[in-house]
Amino acid sequence: MEGLRLIAKGAEADLWLDPDWNGRRVLIKRRGEKRYRHPELDRAIRRYRTIHEADIIHRAKEAGVPTPVIYQVDPEGATIVMEYVDGVKVREIVQRLSGDERRRLFRLIGVQAGRLHRAGVIHGDLTTSNMIRAGDSVVFVDFGLGEVSSEAEKRGVDLHLMRRMLTSTHFSHADELFKAFEEGYRSAMGGEADEALRRMREIERRGRYVER
């Protein structure tokens, strides 16, 4: 694709940067063909997942969670054209922040995760690699594994991913960051937070049992 720059190559989709799409700087997410699948099945899967991800992003935005603006969805081409968010991944700045800044940031992330869950949206890959700090906002990105559900188990899986990521990637601050995240999450979720957090702890115990 002429004029585009490949910035990320994933198992399911590639991300291209277009510096001048109708006068805008955008990201183009395209789900490529999978040769191991029957062509018609492959087309149907890529079409469905493209539409589904765009719908999830729309639901998240309606819930008050900052997400990239979608400019165009091409189901047949399995392509989404969306806003390029000018900022930095949260994963890259945690170590550079003061303690107070880190806690404020993760409380905000917790609030936004709670808003997602209250709206029946599961992110599916709730990690600091999929959050971009842009000014005073934190923009959630990459909803490719997202789904619509209010099941406590699925909420617990989202929270487990966040906690496990903090332990492995930001281990020196993991406890304080998750505490701040949980405060924000509870403030957005209200009484529903208890069951989701309980499920998260159950999932952690299952994981330790399997590892043995």
Given this model, what pLDDT does residue 132 score? 98
Q: Note down the domain range covering 77.
A: 5-83
Using alpha carbons only, give the angle 92, 115, 190 rounded to the nearest 5 degrees. Answer: 120
Question: Within 10 A of 6 (CB to CB), how many other CB atoms are there?
Answer: 10
Query: Is 125 annotated in the active site?
Result: yes
The torsion angles phi and psi of 99, rounded to 5 degrees, stand at: -55, -45
- Number of structural domains in the chain: 2
Q: Is the domain of 202 the same as that of 107?
A: yes
Q: Is the domain of 35 the same as that of 12?
A: yes
Long-range contacts of 192-199 (CB under 8 A, 24+ apart): 192/117, 192/118, 193/114, 195/152, 195/155, 196/117, 196/152, 196/155, 196/156, 196/159, 197/156, 197/159, 198/152, 198/156, 199/152, 199/153, 199/155, 199/156, 199/157, 199/159
Q: Is the domain of 114 the same as that of 189?
A: yes
Q: Is the domain of 159 the same as that of 66?
A: no
The torsion angles phi and psi of 123, rounded to 5 degrees, stand at: -70, -45
Rounded to whole angstroms, the maximal C-alpha distance in the chain is 55
Given this model, what pLDDT does residue 210 score? 43
Given this model, what pLDDT does residue 35 score? 87
CATH number, domain containing residue 200: 1.10.510.10
Q: Is the domain of 16 the same as that of 49?
A: yes
Q: Is the domain of 58 the same as that of 153?
A: no
Given this model, what pLDDT does residue 208 score? 60
Given this model, what pLDDT does residue 94 score? 94
Residue position matching structure tokens 């994963």: 91
Tell which of 40, 57, 83 closes a domain. Answer: 83
Please tell me which residue in 100, 125, 142, 158 is annotated as part of the active site.
125
Given this model, what pLDDT does residue 11 score? 82
Q: What is the pTM of this model?
A: 0.92
Per run of 10 residues, the mean pLDDT along the chain (length 212 residues) is 84 93 96 92 97 98 97 97 96 94 97 98 96 96 96 97 94 95 98 97 77 45
Q: For residues 122 and 118, what is the distance between their CA atoms, to the nearest angstrom? A: 10
Q: Is the domain of 96 the same as that of 193?
A: yes
Q: Is the domain of 109 the same as that of 166?
A: yes
Tell which of 54, 83, 112 closes a domain. Answer: 83
Q: Is the domain of 143 the same as that of 184?
A: yes
Given this model, what pLDDT does residue 189 score? 97
Q: Is the domain of 96 the same as that of 71?
A: no
Tell which of 83, 111, 133 closes a domain. Answer: 83
Q: Is the domain of 40 the same as that of 66?
A: yes
Question: Within 10 A of 196 (CB to CB), how many other CB atoms are there?
Answer: 24
